[in-house]
Structure 1
Amino acid sequence: MVKHQRRYGKRLDHDEKLRKKEARSVHQNSKVARQTHGLKAKMMHKQKHAEKVQMKKTMKNHSERNVKKDEEKPDDSAALPTYLMDRNEQRDAKSISSAIKQKRKDKAARFSVPLPKVKGIAEEEVFKVIKTGSKKQKSWKRMITKPTFVGENFTRKPPKLERFIRPSGLRMKKANVTHPELKTTFQLPIIGVKKNPQSPLYSQLGVLTKGTVLEVNVSELGMVTTGGKVVWGKYAQITNNPENDGCVNAVLLV
């Protein structure tokens, strides 16, 4: 049906016919309910009952949206743990709803980066062709001409197996990260490259270009979560062109 509609479109009176069919469906269902008997009738009535109960619950929740309720008081005979002491506060459906919405916004904010759009870089600019072999005929190796990040215990593959060469002079280990709220810059160690918007291959190789999202070690800043745990790693986005400046400047995503 969907395929037919895509090819040939709909009738001019399609929406009107659909509306009339839905309006008639009430009478049709009523007729079926009157004529059905036996096990089929029992199943139908059970389904209708469940629908009515669900509708009543929805209506009740809607009417109680702005009604404030006290938490149920626990039994006084039992000792109350310390983490439950402050839970006798008022709670209403609207505040819970807004709290959930706020959590969703916070979750979405993690992906809202300072540089949403980045200029594309051609592969010819990033990779330089290296010819190998005694007669320099094979050209299957590539040298990366942009700054890169490699892990702490990184060791190069044997020369015959190495596909991408990352020069040691272009390897970066630290980034100048600016905290947007404190307006202060810290030099922090890079833990890894989370995503390079240019290409998944660049993310895998750890190529550092403008707009790349890094993971940096923020344990020195003393940042803590709401639970009181020290934050170890946080994401930051590169805001400069490291190949031009010789350093990595980034903004912390808070």
Structure 2
Amino acid sequence: VQRSPPSGPVHSRAHDGQVEVALPMPPQVRRRAPVCASQVVLKMHEQRKTKQKNDDKTPEGAVPAYLLDREGQSRAKVLSNMIKQKRKEKAGKWEVPLPKVRAQGETEVLKVIKTGKRQKKAWKRMVTKVCVVGDGFTRKPPKYERFIRPMGLRFKKAHVTHPELKATFCLLGVITKGTVVEVNVSELGLVTQGGKVIWGKYAQVTNNPENDGCINAVLLV
């Protein structure tokens, strides 16, 4: 009679874990303890206690004379100002013109194309949004082309606007409103603090390319 193969390390580890529950601190927990402790300490450093006025906690009914002018207070923990500032700086570094972008569903981007004599096969998809294709783009033979990219929705250029220099240049996936693209900005002559030329920068698409027939984007500065 063929015996079942020996259980792998997953089963033995699970068994050990069950046995170790009775111990004061199982090795599995002991390994994580220093990490957990350091995370708790960091969290405590980040937070500070403050007193805040709370109308809900104002005492009702008969109150002693010495408490009449006292308002209800609640203690709250707030993040320290320094950490708040750091987070603001981080968030502001990539402030985009369109902060809220609508998510594109699969059914919206890809349209099912039925093929075959009886229209029974449904493995082909037509892309209904703008696509970026390179100069050397060649279609597959139509019979074997799974994702069909219509000619009218293929683009090679994006009109990118620099909000401070007020300059527009044409340079350049599916691209929709809100998409962040990387563009070549060597023509603008931008340099870093160290004096090096900036070659690439990010830009966000601000229009609906599939409706307008062109890609307009604003540089993130």
Q: TM-score range by the shorter chain?
A: 0.5 to 0.7
Q: Which whole-Å CA distance do the structure 2 matches of 1:158 and 1:212 have between them?
A: 30
Amino acid at match of 2:190: M
SS in structure 2 of the partner of residue 109 of structure 1: helix
Match of 1:156 in 2: 139
Contact in 2 for aligned 1:174/1:187 (Cα 8 Å): no
Q: Which whole-Å CA distance do the structure 2 matches of 1:217 and 1:239 have between them?
A: 18
Match of 1:166 in 2: 149
1:120 positional shift: 3.3
Q: Deviations over 1:105-132 (max 9, x none)?
A: 6654343212111123343332221122
Amino acid at match of 1:221: L
1:230 positional shift: 1.5
Q: Which whole-Å CA distance do the structure 1 matches of 2:189 and 2:130 have between them?
A: 29
Q: Which whole-Å CA distance do the structure 1 matches of 2:113 and 2:158 have between them?
A: 29
Going from structure 1 to structure 2, the CA distance change for 1:236 and 1:225 (only over 3 Å counts) comes to same
TM-score by length of 2: 0.54
Contact in 2 for aligned 1:129/1:140 (Cα 8 Å): yes
Q: Deviations over 1:6-62 (max 9, x none)?
A: xxxxxxxxxxxxxxxxxxxxxxxxxxxxxxxxxxxxxxxxxxxxxxxxxxxxxxxxx
Going from structure 1 to structure 2, the CA distance change for 1:228 and 1:143 (only over 3 Å counts) comes to same
Q: Which whole-Å CA distance do the structure 1 matches of 2:145 and 2:167 have between them?
A: 37
1:158 positional shift: 4.1
Please state which structure has a larger fraction of its residues in strand: 2
Amino acid at match of 1:234: K
1:115 matched to 2:98: yes
Amino acid at match of 1:239: T
Match of 2:32 in 1: none
Match of 2:16 in 1: none
1:186 matched to 2:153: no
Please state which structure has a larger fraction of its residues in helix: 1
Match of 1:127 in 2: 110
Amino acid at match of 2:101: V
Unaligned runs of 5+ in 2: 1-81
User: How many residues are paired up?
Assistant: 138
Match of 1:23 in 2: none
Q: Which whole-Å CA distance do the structure 1 matches of 2:171 and 2:197 have between them?
A: 17
Match of 2:212 in 1: 245
Q: Percent identity?
A: 69
TM-score by length of 1: 0.48
Q: Which whole-Å CA distance do the structure 2 matches of 1:154 and 1:106 have between them?
A: 41
